[in-house]
């Protein structure tokens, strides 16, 4: 695990280092989707390179992408000069939509167009090579050094545009420096991480850091820490559950954002709001369970999956025994079918030799075993129906009564006292 995920993690740290910094600028300027738009412009450049016969990871594709992204950067720098007449965020959205549509149209003409779209969106960070990480790190160090040397005017133009104008700063020139370097960063990152992951590295750490820190330096340090933690969590989830690496990291950032938002909402909410929410939920699920016992009940499914005995409480002894036998049979059949299908794949790809007659028997046995497993699954489905019919009243009514009683108590507590008391 360590050998496989080490360089993707290092690549994530490199991406976090530069994108968290640019994310602070982007949020201060109020152009949240500029990264997504520039990434899509760069992706359109890669698409044109593919149509010209160049591989996705080739140097030619990179220069095509950089040329397109540079054009987008120049456009965004020009648009800011006319912010009052045409909002910059509107132009950013239009550019994204148009480039995405043109990319789809172009890749529709290319061989394996769907695969190219997938690669551009989610990238291939898990297969990144040490040489790619090193070259990316050197490039970003150079860009970071440039921004450090020019930090005063760049920070003023992003965070204090009125002050920058009052000082006579040449805003267009500094916008051109910002967007040009940003386009170079986005183009280089998209080749490895894909559009969605690049956007997540840019916005999520910087946005969360802005909730807890005030100064640019403290926000940047916190954003770096959050980016490293999100990368580690996403890579760990990808390894543990065999998930695509890029989307797993994006999902980890999304979970972090949701957790922070929920924590802040609960912190600022009235003290009894969680009780009110739980009581209302109890009333709702109780009514749904009584009215529609056979509909999907995700909360009940999850509870029974975590604790199978919860369903067995509502089954008779014979039904309980039948359920346990079916579960054991399905477990054995799944393990056996996994081995048999792996053997069938080996025969199909020529890594294992087997006579034609034996291959036919193997396929027939797999089909028969699958039918038996499906029959055991039908038994579980029927037993679930029986349990739901009893849970309809055994759970539905208590949930409804408990939730209603809690809501009445909360209402009584907040009702004003009667006049004269």
Instruction: Specify whether the CB–CB gap between 323 and 380 falls below 8 A.
Output: yes
pTM over 0.75: no
Is the distance from CB of 366 to CB of 337 less than 8 angstroms?
Answer: yes
| 46-51: Cβ within 8 A, 24+ apart | 46/120, 46/190, 46/191, 47/102, 47/103, 47/106, 47/107, 47/110, 47/116, 47/120, 48/106, 50/106, 50/107, 50/110, 50/116, 51/106, 51/109, 51/110
The domain spans of the chain are 2-268, 273-414
Answer with the residue of higher pLDDT: 374 or 418. Answer: 374
**Residue 113 confidence (pLDDT):** 56
Which pLDDT score is estimated for 272?
74
| pLDDT given for residue 205 in this prediction | 93
- The reported pLDDT for the residue numbered 138 is 94
Angle at 407 between CA 401 and CA 410, to 5 degrees: 140
- 314 within 8 A of 394, measured Cβ to Cβ: yes
- Tell me what pLDDT residue 414 has: 64
Q: How confident is the model at residue 145 (pLDDT cuts 50, 70, 90)?
A: very high
- Identify which has the larger pLDDT, 338 or 109: 338
Rg (CA), the chain: 29
Calculate what percentage of the chain has a pLDDT beyond 70: 92
Mean pLDDT across the chain: 84
Buried b (16+ CB within 10 A) or exposed e, 343-364: ebeebeeeeeeeeeeeeeebee
pLDDT for 99-141, tens place per residue? 888 887 877 766 665 665 666 666 678 888 889 899 999 999 9
pLDDT mean over 135-159 = 90
What's the pLDDT score for residue 99?
Answer: 84
Nearest 5°: CA angle at 192, between 189 and 195?
65
What pLDDT shows up at residue 85?
65
Angle between helices 396-414 and 273-291 (to 10 degrees): 150
| Of the ranges 65-74, 137-146, 337-346, 363-372, the best mean pLDDT one | 137-146
Residue 247: what pLDDT? Answer: 87
Provide the CATH number for the domain formed by 2-268 in this structure: 1.10.3470.10
pLDDT at 50 (0 to 100): 80
The better pLDDT of the pair 31, 228 is held by 228
pLDDT of residue 115: 62
């Amino acid at each position: 695990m360590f050998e496989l995920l080490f360089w993707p993690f290092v690549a994530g740290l490199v991406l976090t280092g530069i994108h968290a910094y640019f994310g602070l600028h982007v949020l201060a300027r109020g152009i949240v989707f500029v990264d997504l738009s520039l990434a899509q412009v760069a992706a359109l450049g890669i698409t044109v390179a593919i149509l010209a016969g160049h591989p996705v990871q080739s140097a030619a594709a990179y220069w095509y992408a950089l040329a397109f992204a540079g054009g987008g950067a120049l456009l965004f720098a020009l648009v800011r000069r006319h912010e009052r007449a045409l909002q910059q965020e509107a132009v950013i959205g239009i550019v994204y939509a148009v480039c995405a549509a043109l990319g789809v149209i172009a890749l529709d003409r290319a061989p394996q167009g769907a695969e190219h779209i997938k690669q551009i969106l989610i990238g291939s960070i898990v297969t990144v090579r040490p040489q790619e990480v090193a070259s990316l790190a050197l490039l970003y160090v150079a860009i970071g050094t440039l921004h450090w040397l020019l930090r005063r005017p760049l920070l003023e133009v992003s965070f204090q545009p009125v002050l920058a104008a009052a000082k006579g700063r040449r805003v267009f020139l500094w916008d051109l420096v910002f967007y040009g370097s940003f386009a170079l960063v986005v183009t280089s990152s998209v080749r490895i991480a894909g559009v969605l992951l690049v956007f997540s590295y840019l916005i999520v750490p910087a946005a969360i850091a802005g909730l807890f820190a005030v100064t640019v330096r403290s926000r940047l340090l916190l954003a770096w820490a959050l980016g490293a933690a999100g990368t580690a969590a996403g890579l760990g989830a990808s390894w543990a559950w065999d998930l695509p690496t890029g989307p797993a990291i994006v999902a980890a950032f999304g979970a972090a954002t949701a957790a922070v938002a929920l924590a802040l909402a609960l912190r600022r909410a009235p003290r009894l709001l969680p009780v009110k929410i739980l009581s209302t939920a109890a009333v709702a699920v109780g009514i749904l369970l009584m009215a529609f016992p056979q509909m999907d009940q995700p909360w009940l499914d999850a509870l029974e999956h975590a604790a199978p005995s919860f369903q067995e409480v509502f089954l008779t002894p014979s039904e309980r025994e039948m359920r346990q036998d079916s579960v054991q049979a399905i477990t054995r059949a799944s393990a056996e079918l996994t081995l048999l299908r792996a053997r069938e794949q080996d025969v199909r790809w020529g890594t294992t030799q087997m006579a034609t007659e034996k291959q036919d028997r193997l396929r027939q046995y797999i089909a028969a075993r699958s039918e038996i497993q499906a029959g055991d699954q039908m038994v579980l489905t029927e037993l679930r129906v029986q349990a739901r019919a009893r849970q309809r009243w055994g759970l539905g009514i208590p949930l409804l009564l408990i939730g209603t009683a809690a809501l009445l108590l909360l209402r009584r507590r907040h009702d004003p006292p009667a006049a004269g008391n």
